Structure 1
């Protein structure tokens, strides 16, 4: 067994459990680390401290701890602005290792910023190379391909860093076969450098429950037919396209009590303090006269999400680009059908029998028709949900951790 340094520089793995703004990466790092520790590995997760009240070292489970390292202001800072604090993060990493007499056997870095930290740590190891395993989670070239304006584009600094990391990492874990192909053909990664290992899902937490009980828990009427989106509030998520589709559904089904629930973002503040994307979506909601149909409910804790999944008719993931989609896996594990675009890695789990669950990017008419097909055929929806749950049961975090551990064991430096 190994001692692993799990680096998540820009976002805290515990954020999802605390109800803070998160994406799939937070869940990925925490759940993977938890299972690796249960296998017998010693796992130290390192993240940048974003609050002066953060506990320095958090003991999460046997063999698993989270370390908050000071790097720049102990406050939330955009990930596009924290690269200059990397040297301080590295210095404090070394201070922790000296203080606790720790020497790591492998670095697993998440996102390109963490990768740069891992690269520096690797280069400092003179007597024996420290293996660097890298999970990008998203790729700058693919994000730029779907960016709608200059403000959404990733800069050349990130692209150059990703290119360098592909050349220097000992192994890369891609979330899907499509991302593996992008790394090979766009980033010139050699085939044996990259493994396609999908994210996992907590099948004990995310499981089917009574729909009416779930609706009662989150406070919606038993008669309401809820369509659900879960994820970060970002332009590439395609939420505006989903809102257009919902407008079409409501216009064509005037007597159907249907609503759209959007889980994600911080809506606890006045609208003037909302993010640019959230304000833009709210403007779309007003233009479409859907104030009572589209509900922004904000971010939710992990233990609350199963109620949202089980209360809905379906989850829709209309992303322009998605390396995989952990929210979709969670919904599938609850036995809920997921309509996803054909650019998302999770679409690979949908077999030909249920191909109607795969939609196209920016085609609200098609998406509306697919939503209606499920709304009007509850028996088909239930059958799909049962089939899809079977497809994801093999993707428990325990099984995924075994595959990642095998990558560590087969590293050559």
Structure 2
């Protein structure tokens, strides 16, 4: 990065604070992104202020988070958790208080980096007041969500209109994968020259391989046969039901494999169908299929624990029917495990079919079962794919690399060079578009 002075960045993320990773409700991929990108930018000498909503009376107004990074908790609505889709009505108050904080403290930012559509709306207000460039990442697109979730989509009705506004106001848009770039250019009519692909990534020191037996001992798993792992949210669109159905077919067609399905996730540390209703649905399915001795629910685990669960499995499976990007496949790959994933969204980009695992159609337990059997039957193939997976992540999907590419984009935005063609960008990067 070539800057005479390191920029000061207003990082806006209304519902996803990095502090929530310490055990807060609804912490997910956006929280990880905000945390890792800001930390790595701070380590590069860039000053980052993360504006997020104050959701706890115990949270300080301003919190030093890491080198060069502060979290600024902005009052808006009750000082407690509010479901993400209910935050839209609080955004005028959030924006007003954010702007007041900046004015009161006489802060001069060089650039805005906003996350998700609601923060994008707030960012447009700061952009016009301060006359500074705005970079935005949506993390998920409303039109795509509505297409895949239909009546289950609980987004505010204004979402797509606001997304259209944000897309037009931003100087650059970050897409996490090629499919997201297509959504922006085809569904929202964005000029391809202002959409830059910078994939999200994984912390390769936190997510690292360890021996399978050592990992099972570490997590207290006493199972001598193969283990199929799933790590992630347990909600309908993740379609864990598809994995359960595939497991039944594996056991029916190849009973000598003797596999166990380990499901890691949920809203509580101990599996609770009241807190995570989808667990109750899965438990009923498992009982009906006679799989109660072949499936274990682990519950929610913190990021620092997850490497042991990934490493305890022989392979990881994730087959959502809709996934904007998906960090768990990368985490599994960083732990040296092959991944069988749906050929959708970011998974189709991060998993290299036939090299680091397999891509399968969503909602196809037959195809999934066949790929599971193939990997469990071939130790050499499984080990080779796991090694390839770790190599691919180290080469292409580290947070250090994502932050460096983000910093390069800051330079372009600050120098007003808004004419990057996508073909030129691909020449600058060594990402594998396949």
Per-residue deviation, residues 7-32 of structure 1 (Å, max 9, x unmatched): 11112222224365322111111001
Assess if the C-alpha contact under 8 Å between 2:99 and 2:126 holds in 1: no
Q: Which runs of 5+ in 1 are unaligned?
A: none
2:403 is aligned to 401
Alpha-carbon displacement from aligned partner over 1:349-385 (angstroms, at most 9, x marks no partner): 4445438611111100110111111111122100111
How high is the TM-score relative to the length of structure 2? 0.88
Distance 1:56 1:409 in 2: 30
1:380 matched residue in structure 2: 381
Q: Distance in 1 between the 2:356 and 2:236 partners?
A: 25
Query: Whole-Å Cα distance in 2 between the matches of residues 47 and 71 of structure 1?
Result: 10
From 63, 66, 73, give the equivalent of 2:78: 73
**Matching of residues 12-411 of structure 1 within 5 Å:** 12-18=17-23, 20-125=25-130, 129-147=131-149, 150-152=151-153, 154-268=155-269, 271=272, 273-351=274-352, 353-354=354-355, 357-394=358-395, 395-411=397-413
* Separation of aligned partners in 1, 2:272 and 2:381: 39
Residue 228 of structure 2 contacts residue 262 of structure 2 at CA under 8 Å; is this kept in 1? Answer: yes
| 3-state DSSP of counterpart to 1:339 | strand
Question: Mean Cα displacement is larger for which, 306-315 or 257-266?
Answer: 257-266
* Matched residue SS, 2:136: strand
- Asked if the contact 1:109/1:135 (under 8 Å) is kept, the reply is yes
- SS of 1:4's equivalent in the other structure is strand
**Pairwise CA RMSD of aligned residues?**
2.1
Cα shift readout 1:88-123 (whole Å, capped 9, x = no counterpart) = 212332343245442221111111111111112223
Aligned length: 409
Between the aligned partners of 1:290 and 1:158, the Cα distance in structure 2 is 41
The alpha carbon displacement at 1:294 in A equals 2.6
In 1, the alpha carbon distance for the partners of 2:282 and 2:153 equals: 16
Partner of 1:134, secondary structure, is: strand
Kept in 2, the 8 Å contact 1:23–1:231? The answer is: no
What is the distance in 2 between the residues matched to 1:134 and 1:234? 27
- Normalising by structure 1, report the TM-score: 0.93
